[in-house]
Amino acid sequence: MMKVAAAATSLSLVAAAPYTPPTYTTPSNLTHPGLDILAKRAGLLYFGTAIDNVVLNNTAYVSIAHNVSEFGQATPSNGQKWMYIEPQQNVFNYSMADAIMKPAKEAGQMRRCHTFAWHSQLPDWVNNGNWTKETLTAVLENHIKNEAQYFKDDCYAWDVVNEAFEDDGSLRNSIWLQVMGPEYIELAFKWARQYTGNGTRLYYNDYGIERVNNKSLAVAEMAKDFIARDIPIDGVGLQAHFTVGRAPTYDEVSAALTLFDDLKLETALTELDVRILLPDSPEKQELQAEVYTNATKACVDVAECVGVTVWDFWDPVSWVPESFPGYGNACLLDDDLQRKPAYYAIEKMLDEVAKK
Ligand SMILES: *[C@@H]1O[C@H](CO)[C@@H](O)[C@H](O)[C@H]1NC(C)=O
Ligand SMILES: *[C@@H]1O[C@H](CO)[C@@H](O)[C@H](O)[C@H]1NC(C)=O
Ligand SMILES: *[C@@H]1O[C@H](CO)[C@@H](O)[C@H](O)[C@H]1NC(C)=O
Ligand SMILES: *[C@@H]1O[C@H](CO)[C@@H](O)[C@H](O)[C@H]1NC(C)=O
Ligand SMILES: *[C@@H]1O[C@H](CO)[C@@H](O)[C@H](O)[C@H]1NC(C)=O
Ligand SMILES: *[C@@H]1O[C@H](CO)[C@@H](O)[C@H](O)[C@H]1NC(C)=O
Ligand SMILES: *[C@@H]1O[C@H](CO)[C@@H](O)[C@H](O)[C@H]1NC(C)=O
Ligand SMILES: *[C@@H]1O[C@H](CO)[C@@H](O)[C@H](O)[C@H]1NC(C)=O
């Protein structure tokens, strides 16, 4: 199945194609070949998942996480974050990252690597250092250099800079911005290209850019400027952490992806999950299924969108309950590792696309 390019209208709300999501009240009749197999048949490069270190002792979880039919791509949820990779200055520890990356490679899963420059999950020595522009610049380059070289040729893509914008489209007031100024972003991309090699896709990754809004427009402006000035950027990751009841529709996600398509940049949904205000109900799970399907279908339909990654597939390891008290059940598999309506809905949609 070939992808159909969205109507290329710059910086405006334009739907890729009319789309009425079907409703799914029962499991499909499919024999469950696996979401990645179906996604590839529907024209995507992969359907993937984030994998977290905390449950690597659970063999049932691990066997699904590294099942390449189900998930053709893996992202370490936490293992490549700065606080674990460089817990003390110039002391690098790759054991958490390797615990995800090595089995993913052995299983034949593509790896999206995550992340170099971010304001969060930094070790104290970075947050509390008495930095000058010069010293912090050296710290960031040294971090990217070590990690990029360690994972050289292991990563299909790197999220080079994560969450650098505020919702209003201004730059986030992070330690990087405060000390290094706005050019920390382009420096990170230049170092990423220099040290990862030329085959790795370099992504900017953020949340809240799944609609055309001030934030996504600001990211598109930055990308456009980078392209004009030959700053290496290959893609934009739309995290897609959604909430039932206020999630973007198919048309909205399509329009946001199209902003970057118009710049000839690759895109991906990099952290898809759909949280529910508890208590859960069959009705909420139906809506959740529709939100998941809308987003995935938008990626299938917009030409440069290569794949969808869920931010873990199992409710008990989701980041949601801790970060959004009162919310939960955001994933495709329930507490007992059983498929939920959202799983069946994505499966059926992909199968229908593949058959066209
Ligand atoms: C499953 O198959 C049965 C019999 O072939 C058919 O009647 C039914 O509509 C199918 N259900 C779905 C969800 O496709
Ligand atoms: C991998 O997942 C597919 C799809 O769910 C399933 O058919 C297959 O048995 C799984 N393989 C293993 C080794 O568990
Ligand atoms: C895995 O380890 C966690 C604590 O680290 C523990 O709570 C959990 O019961 C363990 N799970 C299994 C399946 O051993
Ligand atoms: C590296 O990190 C792992 C996992 O957090 C930890 O168990 C190990 O002690 C660390 N190694 C060193 C040398 O600090
Ligand atoms: C921070 O660095 C500046 C300039 O290098 C120095 O003058 C100042 O004493 C330092 N402050 C602390 C608390 O170390
Ligand atoms: C978007 O930005 C414009 C000006 O750049 C501002 O007037 C508007 O209030 C912003 N909207 C939101 C929702 O922040
Ligand atoms: C990337 O390509 C450029 C130009 O071809 C080359 O000079 C450079 O060495 C390459 N970088 C790596 C890390 O392979
Ligand atoms: C899914 O997208 C369609 C088309 O944009 C929209 O009409 C529908 O409301 C969306 N569903 C949900 C649950 O957001």
Q: Give the per-residue SS3 of 278-301.
A: CCCCHHHHHHHHHHHHHHHHHHHH
Low-confidence ranges of the chain (pLDDT < 70): 1-29
Candidate list 147, 266, 271, 304, residue with the active-site label: 271
Residue 16 is assigned to a structural domain of this protein: no
Residue 258 is assigned to a structural domain of this protein: yes
Residue 15 is assigned to a structural domain of this protein: no
Rounded to 5 degrees, what are φ and ψ at 116?
Answer: -85, -65
Residue 1 is assigned to a structural domain of this protein: no
Distance of CA 198 to the CA centre of its chain: 21
Give residue for tokens 């710290």. Answer: 139
Q: Check residue 20 and give its pLDDT.
A: 61
Are 178 and 206 contacting, i.e. CB atoms less than 8 angstroms apart?
A: no
Q: How far apart are CA 297 and CA 47, in angstroms?
A: 12
Q: Check residue 356 and give its pLDDT.
A: 85
Cβ-Cβ contacts under 8 Å for 289 (sequence gap 6 or more): 23, 24, 340, 341, 342, 344, 345, 346
Residue 20 is assigned to a structural domain of this protein: no
Candidate list 86, 163, 210, 290, residue with the active-site label: 163
Q: How far apart are CA 271 and CA 289, in angstroms?
A: 16
Residue 28 is assigned to a structural domain of this protein: no
Both tokens of 340, joined, read 């939920």
Nearest-atom index, ligand 8, CA of 19: 4
Q: Which domain holds residue 295?
A: 35-354
The CA 26 to ligand 1 mean position distance, Å, reads: 10
Per the annotation, the verdict on 141 as an active-site residue is: no
Beta strands in 77-216, from DSSP E residues, in sequence order: 110-117, 157-162, 201-206
Four-CA torsion 278, 47, 97, 275, nearest 10 degrees = -10
User: What number of helices (H) and strands (E) belong to the chain?
Assistant: 13, 10
Per the annotation, the verdict on 286 as an active-site residue is: no
Residue 175 is assigned to a structural domain of this protein: yes
CATH number for 323: 3.20.20.80
Q: Which of 68, 31, 30, 32 is nearest to 49 (CA)?
A: 68
Length of the chain equals 356
- Secondary structure (DSSP) of 38-56: HHHHTT-SEEEEEE-GGGT
Q: How far apart are CA 106 and CA 75, in angstroms?
A: 14
Q: Count how many domains the chain has.
A: 1
Rounded to 5 degrees, what are φ and ψ at 139?
Answer: -65, -45
Beta strands in the chain, from DSSP E residues, in sequence order: 46-51, 73-76, 110-117, 157-162, 201-206, 235-238, 241-243, 266-277, 305-310, 327-328
The CA 275 to ligand 4 mean position distance, Å, reads: 33
Are 96 and 82 contacting, i.e. CB atoms less than 8 angstroms apart?
A: no
Stated as kind and residue range, the H or E segment containing 345 is: helix 341-355
Rounded to 5 degrees, what are φ and ψ at 272?
Answer: -65, 125
Residue 18 is assigned to a structural domain of this protein: no
Best probe residue, ligand 7, of 198, 200, 234 (max atoms within 8 Å of C-beta): 198
Q: Which residues does a 6 A CB cutoff place in the pocket of ligand 3?
A: 57-58
- Atom 6, ligand 7: residue with shortest CA distance: 198
32: phi > 0 → left, psi -120 to 50 → alpha, else beta; which?
left
Q: Check residue 18 and give its pLDDT.
A: 54
The ligand whose atoms approach the alpha carbon of 170 most closely is 6
What digits encode the pLDDT tens for the residues 85-143?
Answer: 999 999 999 999 999 999 999 999 999 999 999 999 999 999 999 999 999 999 999 99
Instruction: State the amino acid at position 325 in one-letter form.
Output: P
Ligand 6 pocket check for 214: Cβ under 6 Å:
yes
Ligand 8 pocket check for 290: Cβ under 6 Å:
yes
Q: Check residue 197 and give its pLDDT.
A: 85
Nearest-atom index, ligand 2, CA of 67: 1
